[in-house]
Structure 1
Amino acid sequence: MSQTALAEPRRTRPEPAGAVPPSQAGRHVSEEEYWRDYYLESDVHYEWNNGRLEEKPVSNYETFLVYHWFMLLLEHFLTARPIARMVALEMGFRLPLPTGTVIRKPDFGVVCNDNPQPLLPLDASYQGVFDLCVEALSDQEHRDILRDTVLKKAEYAAGGVPEYYILHRAPEQQAFFTRTAAGIYVPIAPDDGVIRSRVLPGLQFRLADLCRRPEHGTLRDDPVYAAFVLPGWRAAEERAAALAQALQQAEQLAAAEKAQGKAEGKADGLKRLLARRFGVLPRWAVQRLDTAAIDQLDGWLEGIFEAQSLEGLLGPKPRRGVPKAR
């Protein structure tokens, strides 16, 4: 074996190429070339402005955290109220404007269910106009700030995007716009510090929370978010509390009636609870409760708030006898 072979360790995999491809920003290409060669480019994300490539700038990490918190909040909202679909992953859409056609890739967009152009499962670009566009502002250069706050704002308004949000780590750089009938954006006025969407009725958020970013699980008891953040958890907690209270009341009723010498105390207490839950009890249910053993009554008591009907709790009601065939 040669000394060279001993001195040089064997390479098991090729070394990564560290060179970043040069930016093509400013290059003039046709719309056909853009869709074919640049739209899906993974190393550099390009938008198209009337024949010229524009590179999407990058936001800093803290601005990303604001963006991510808001995106998760919107996911909670759309889970509770599935009135729209949300997309990210650099999905672009085409805006034919009076000043020329542009192709923009909002950081994420929302398509309402009543939008005339539905968002289809295999779409790699959106063929309609988003109902809401959200951009995470990049402030690395002044031109990047102007791009989102002036240029895109004008384009989205002219193109018919009903709402436009700009997110940033600093509250003074955040902006929330709604489009008027005249086709211009006006700021959404906060109500006691809360922004309420018009295009997504019921979506609301506290401006201070964008920078504070509380855990979403803690929002289910906050009146601003309680209607759409983890409503199932809150309902389960309320059911558990109601059941515990009902059990306590039933035990108190049974104990009080037994203390008065009534052997049927527990059955009477259960009858009262069932009447509150399902209304006036039919005769067969009363008879079944009167003849049930203590263990059976205890089992029914535990399941009273999970049952959807009297028959679901007490069992099927008795059927009338069927005449025998001759």
Structure 2
Amino acid sequence: MTTPYTIEVKAYQGGGTTHVPYAPPKKQVTEAEYWEKYYDYPDKNYEWNNGFLEEKPVSEHVTYLTFVWFLELVNHYLKTHSNADLAGLEMGFRMVLSNKMNIRKPDFGVVLKSNPNPLLPHDSSYHGTFDMCIEAISESSAKEVTRDTVTKKAEYAQAGVKEYVILDGNGNHTAFYHLNTNGIYVPVKPSKGDIIKSKVLPGFQFRIADLYKKPSPEEMINEPVYQGFVLPGYSEAKKAKQEAEKRADKAEQQTILEKQAKEKAEKRAEKAKQQILLEQQARQHAEQQAKQLAKKLRELGINSDDI
């Protein structure tokens, strides 16, 4: 039998159904109750806002695709630099703020290896403050937009999240913030070519337009913006292959030149040989003529030595 606060859910194994608590909008629960019943709720994704449950809305597919591309880009960076860990799969963290207490689940978060609270392999929630939070916005209502662009922005800043990224596949609310020394989020100013550079992840950068174009890794490896961390091994291997091909071409050209030089030398030697042969033949012919002349002179009684 169900109650106003339970829903029927199919069991994963063995068939049958079970009943789990269902939270209507603005349901008030204690923090302990949230962690126990709602943090890993089976079919809804809840955050806890100062005693009240808030359901995380679903983003449009276009925003999801932008989110996936950005997540893959961060993964490429971390494979190269290994200076941080990623938190996803609805992992939450607790924020004690000046006027309230919250538990938020960013769509994914970044924890630097230098963070005093490391992200451990078996953690199901993060017991520190993320260094970077990324939210894929939902435009289902003005309230949901405000929650990401105003409410969470203020909360993350006060909690000390160093960078906050809002992704919107439609480009309406995409934003990039860095926490200044006064604890206030300031927009990250794009450098030449609309390139956003992270301070939390040194060397991590991207073009704003690429959030919507979503170039493939194969397209990015030849792009200076991404060459430093997107498949750098591939780029190095490709460069090494090109250099090896150049060396092979140069060696082949050298072999051809040497072969041509050898052929020229052989032709010169053959020509010299022919010249010597002709000179020998000419000398022999001259000697034969001289002998014949001397013979005729002797027949005439003339000594050739007297001439």
Taking structure 1 as the reference length, what is the TM-score of the superposition?
A: 0.72
Is this contact kept in 1: 2:220–2:230, CA < 8 A? yes
Offset of 1:32 from its aligned partner?
Answer: 0.9
Pair 1:61–1:21, CA change in 2 (3 A): farther
Alpha-carbon contact 1:195-1:206 (below 8 Å) kept: yes
Partner of 2:204: 203
Q: CA deviation at 1:160?
A: 0.3
* Corresponding position of 2:243: 242
State whether structure 2 residue 131 is matched by structure 1 residue 131.
yes
**3-state SS of 1:126 partner:** coil
Q: Alignment partner of 2:129: what SS?
A: coil
Q: Counterpart of 1:155? A: 155
Separation in structure 1 between the aligned mates of residue 16 and residue 170 of structure 2, nearest angstrom: 37
Amino acid corresponding to residue 104 of structure 1 in structure 2: R
State the secondary structure of the residue aligned to 2:172.
helix
CA contact (8 A) 2:60 2:138 kept: yes
1:185 corresponds in structure 2 to: 185
Contact 2:23-2:53 within 8 A present in 1 as well: no
Q: Which has the larger radius of gyration?
A: 2
Q: Residues 108 and 134 of structure 1 are in contact (CA less than 8 Å); yes or no, is this contact kept in structure 2?
A: yes
| Contact 1:21-1:43 within 8 A present in 2 as well | no
1:212 deviates by 1.3
SS state of the match for residue 221, structure 1?
coil
1:104-146 CA distance string (max 9 Å, x none): 0000000011111100000000001000000000010110001
The letter for the 2-side match of 1:101 is M
Flag the 1:211–1:260 CA change in 2: closer, same or farther, 3 A.
Answer: closer
Matched residue type, 1:123: D
How far apart in 2 are the matches of 1:33 and 1:225? 45
AA at the equivalent of 1:24: P
Give runs of aligned pairs for residues 28-39 of structure 1, distance below 5 A. 28-39=28-39
Q: What residue is the counterpart of 2:118 in the other structure?
A: 118
Q: Please state how far the C-alpha of 1:14 moved relative to its aligned partner.
A: 10
Unaligned runs of 5+ in 1: 1-12, 263-326
Unaligned 5+ residue runs, structure 2? Answer: 1-12, 264-307
Cα displacement (A) at 1:16: 8.8
Answer with 237-246 or 111-120: which moved more: 237-246
Q: Percent identity?
A: 46
**How many Å separate the matches in 1 of 2:32 and 2:211?**
39
Does structure 1 conserve the Cα–Cα contact (< 8 Å) formed by 2:21 and 2:37?
Answer: no
Residues 211 and 16 (structure 1), Cα distance of their counterparts in 2 relative to 1, 3 Å cut: farther
Give the structure 1 partner of residue 278 of structure 2.
none
Q: Is the 8 A contact 2:108 2:134 kept in 1?
A: yes
Cα deviations by residue, 1:33-56 (Å, 9 ceiling, x for unpaired): 111111111211111111111111
Given that 1:137 and 1:168 are in contact with CA atoms closer than 8 Å, whether structure 2 keeps it comes out as yes
Give the corresponding residue for 2:25: 25
CA contact (8 A) 1:107 1:136 kept: yes
Q: Secondary structure at the match of 2:53?
A: strand
- Please give the root-mean-square deviation of Cα atoms over the aligned residues, in Å: 2.1
Amino acid at match of 1:72: E
Report the equivalent of 1:252. 253
Matching of residues 1-326 of structure 1 within 5 Å? 22-191=22-191, 192-257=193-258, 259-261=260-262
Return the letter of the residue paired with 2:250: Q
Query: What is the alpha-carbon distance in structure 1 between the residues aligned to residue 69 and residue 136 of structure 2?
Result: 12
TM-score of the superposed pair, with normalisation by structure 2: 0.77
* Shift in CA distance, 165/239, structure 1 to aligned 2, threshold 3 Å: same
1:26 and 1:225, CA in 2 relative to 1: closer, same or farther beyond 3 A?
Answer: same
**What is the CA distance between 1:255 and its match in structure 2?**
4.0
State the distance in 2 between where 1:145 and 1:258 align: 74
* 1:234 shift after superposition: 1.3
DSSP 3-state at the match of 1:62: helix
Q: How many matched pairs? A: 249
For residues 14-33 of structure 1, give each alpha carbon's deviation from its aligned partner in whole angstroms, at most 9, with x where no partner exists.
Answer: 9998x997543311111111
Q: For residues 35 and 225 of structure 1, what CA distance do their matches in structure 2 show? A: 40
